[in-house]
A and B are shown apart, each in its own frame.
Chain A
Amino acid sequence: MKYLDEYRDEALAGKIVAEIRHTVTRPWVLMEVCGGQTHTIVKYGIDQLLPDKVELVHGPGCPVCVTSLEMIDKAHAIARRPEVIFCSFGDMLRVPGSEADLLVLKSRGADVRVVYSPMDCLKIARANPDKKVVFFAIGFETTAPGNAMAAWQARRQGIKNFSMLVSHVLVPPAIASILQSPLNRVQGFLGPGHVCTVVGYEEYEPLAERYHVPIVVTGFEPLDLLEGVLMTVRQLEAGTYEVQNQYPRVVKREGNRVARDLVNKVFEVCDRKWRGVGLIPKSGYKLRDEFGDHDAEQLFEVGEIDTAEPAICISGLVLQGVKKPHDCPAFGTLCTPQHPLGATMVSAEGACAAYYAYGRHLQCEKKALAPV
């Protein structure tokens, strides 16, 4: 397929791998920030192609996985109400809250619908004037413009029966939090290509400078990831720590100004709880006061719900890159995509689910499954 096959070329991949082998002289630990990048790495077996000295650990960049239990309980409290049509991205449906998941609520009669775009919710709201349509607005900076547009259009078109439960999270504070952790092992980052498409990478420059880590904004195709690894390793070997852009066909330093402006008009930065990590200051978006009529958290009075997460949780350590999915004794045995015990097993972008889908539980068990 044009514009994709070019980035999945075996001969070129082989050249970049050879160059990485040629460059690396000592062990390095790199983190790919995005769940989409983790997915590509495991789907194509990229980590198997890399020299042993380059270790990839998987970052917190799966929006479903980092949404706090408390926020999911709030979503469920709203979805249970008879006057509500609750709209969500598909992979949120299987994430269990304290009591059930959205699939179960649906089977009990709740009106839960999967949407591909938040704008679809406005259509649903117009078609169901006697219902209250609520969209579960999760995600990183990538989905923020689309979600902001839904709120903006709802206000502009006077669609009063549409609201959003906002649980947006931001990448730079999470990276800072990982780097400040005493458990941190990460020495370089493959930066989030699609997040930077929206917000650019100016914000990453102070992080690279303060923590002396190279950050290479990286795409999502196999050759993107291999090139991102090469660029990061080159910096590590040379002792430099700059922000570089591997993904210039999509990402500009300043990002997408129109999208950023819209996001800033609709959202403001707030403190946010991350699953398995805890509260990270100034790490999320919430709706600005002037969009209060479309803020489900206020409208349905679920602000008081406060679910504590258990203190010990390996999915939190996986999200921070301290542990690998197969370090967990439950991985692939008690915890599978059919019976997720942790959020990282639920979404396809979650590190555990990606490991599972591409058979890493089998490869761990059976030496016979070594790369062919």
Chain B
Amino acid sequence: MTTPNADAGDAGEPVSVLMGSCPLPLTNYKEIVLAHGSGGKLSQELIQKIVLPQFRNDLLDPLHDGAVFSVGDTRLAFSTDSYVVSPIFFPGGDIGKLAVHGTVNDLAMCGARPLYLSVGFILEEGLPMDDFWRVVKSMREAADAAGVTLVTGDTKVVDRGKADKIFITTSGIGVVPKGVNIHPKRVQPGDQIILSGDIATHGIAIMSVREGLEFETEIASDTAPLNGLVEAIFATGKDVHVLRDPTRGGISSALSEISQSAGVGMLLEEARIPISEEVKGACEILGLDPLYVANEGKLLAIVPADAAAAVLAVMRTHPLGRDATIIGEVTADHAGFVLMKTRIGGTRVVDMLSGEQLPRIC
């Protein structure tokens, strides 16, 4: 059996012609490389070309954070995610908290009220019992705070060196309330794009620890359960077209994906996107664009123009939405592309994460 070619270009023959005239002809990875896990285009290609063809179905095909389906009269959301962050303890959180928040948030972004979680641990031989205890305790606290119950799980231990301390997988189920209909296809020109707070803190918190960077104020991860904020938004009774938590790949990748699947354009204003001074400084030092850096406690809400004021007002009364702001709007022009007006009045396209990678940030 041959493996399908995960990275082959779609163009076929012309590649080889060009390769003959170009000094760097590498288009095709025969092994998994770290960038396949970066959450960007290489990850997308891996899934599209290897995984999706084997399992194709209506629920999987959209490749959203979770699947929404009906059982009897109840609409359920179902999601899963794995966590391999290094280091496992970082300012603002740890791998356990992240594992609970991540799946809770994936469910919340489907419009669901998260109810039950499962957990799978892969532990490396030699992991200090105290560390495991801290992670489990932290998961318990995170689950309590998010109002979810951990109802099933599994534990495996592997030889020293075969895993890095601890890997966690969580899956979750939630109920989608009646009247809630979150889908990129519902996004319309004129819709307003609301961001719940300042961006890029999770990715930068992890990088700062790894690179030993110190700032006047410690940069802490923003990891948080967003289901409370989502419930507050729904309580306004206003229509919400799309919710998305911009994790790996940052807000630029999240918005590009939505604009592609919705077939609309977006226009952002750089000056309106909140970023803390510390994160700005770290991004300058590390050479990172904050638009591409991961968040773990922020959401993007795309709502009709006449709902924006009410949604924004209620978000600002919630602790996780205090700095919520409208960062741009959906346009009929340039469908499939996100444009941004830059600080000095130019424009640029904001695309999905591609070459850059910060391995193992979640």
Contact = CB atoms under 8 A, between A and B. Distances in A.
Given A42-B348, A103-B33, A348 B284 contact: no
Contacts of A305: none
B111 to A, nearest CB: 31
A371 interface: yes
A4 interface: yes
Contact of A338 (B21, B344, B354): B354
- Measured as residues with beta carbon below 8 angstroms from the partner, the interface class of chain A is 35 or more
B27 A330 contact: no
Taking each of B9, B30, B344, B351, which has the highest tally of chain A beta carbons within 10 Å of its own beta carbon?
B344
Give the top 7 A-B pairs by smallest Cβ distance, nearest first: A359-B349, A45-B346, A96-B26, A337-B355, A13-B344, A358-B348, A337-B354
Given A10-B343, A330-B22, 8 more contacts: A4-B280, A43-B342, A107-B33, A310-B20, A333-B11, A340-B24, A346-B355, A348-B356
A10 B344 contact: yes
Interface string B326-357: 00000001100101011111111111001110
Contacts of A95: 24
A43 B289 CA distance: 10
A258 interface: no
15 contacts: A45-B348, A46-B346, A48-B346, A96-B25, A103-B35, A107-B32, A222-B343, A222-B344, A334-B15, A338-B355, A346-B355, A348-B287, A348-B356, A353-B355, A369-B337
Interface string B209-242: 0010000000000000000000000000000000
A334 B350 CA distance: 20
Contacts of B14: 334
Contacts of A333: 11
Interface in B269-301: 277, 280-281, 284, 286-287
A372 interface: yes
Interface string B8-44: 0101001100111111111111111111000001100
Given A13-B344, A368-B334, A104 B31 contact: yes
Contact of A369 (B11, B22, B33, B339): B339
Interface stretch (A154-162, A205-213, A236-244, A311-319): A311-319
Contacts of A348: 287, 355-356
Given A103-B34, A338-B41, A94 B280 contact: no
B45 interface: yes
B342 A315 contact: no
Contacts of A275: 23
Q: Point out which of B23, B31, B341, B348 has the most chain A C-beta atoms below 10 A from its C-beta.
A: B23
Contacts of B25: 96, 341
B7 interface: yes
Contacts of B211: 116
Given A338-B355, A340-B26, A357-B354, A45 B342 contact: yes
A368 B339 CA distance: 11
A315 to B, nearest CB: 7
B191 to A, nearest CB: 18
A342 B355 contact: no
B345 A10 contact: yes
Q: By CB atoms of chain A within 10 A, which of B11, B14, B22, B341 has the most?
A: B22
B355 A372 contact: no
A17 to B, nearest CB: 8
A107 B31 contact: yes
Contacts of B286: 116
A372 B339 contact: yes
B346 A371 contact: yes
A76 to B, nearest CB: 12
A338 B22 contact: no
Contacts of B339: 359, 369, 372
Interface residues of B, number: 52
B267 interface: yes
A9 interface: yes
A303 to B, nearest CB: 21
A9 B34 CA distance: 38
B23 A310 contact: yes
B15 A346 contact: no
Nearest to B335: A368
A336 interface: yes
A368 B333 contact: yes
A363 interface: yes
A369 B229 CA distance: 35
Nearest to B348: A358
Nearest to A276: B23
A279 interface: no
Nearest to A339: B27
Interface in A223-270: 223
Given A104-B31, A334-B15, A357 B351 contact: yes
Nearest to B356: A348
Nearest to B213: A116
A106 interface: yes
Nearest to B337: A362
Contacts of A96: 24-26
Contacts of B35: 94, 103
A343 B33 CA distance: 19
A309 B24 CA distance: 9
Contact of A341 (B27, B42, B45, B349): B27
Contact of B347 (A310, A366, A371): A371
Given A44-B343, A49-B346, A369-B334, A334 B21 contact: no
A62 to B, nearest CB: 13
A69 interface: yes
A101 B26 contact: yes
A315 B23 contact: yes
A329 B24 CA distance: 16
A329 to B, nearest CB: 8
Nearest to A365: B337
B277 A1 contact: yes
Contact of A44 (B7, B20, B26, B344): B344
Contacts of A353: 355
Contacts of B280: 1, 4
A56 to B, nearest CB: 13
Contacts of B33: 103-104, 106-107
Nearest to B280: A1
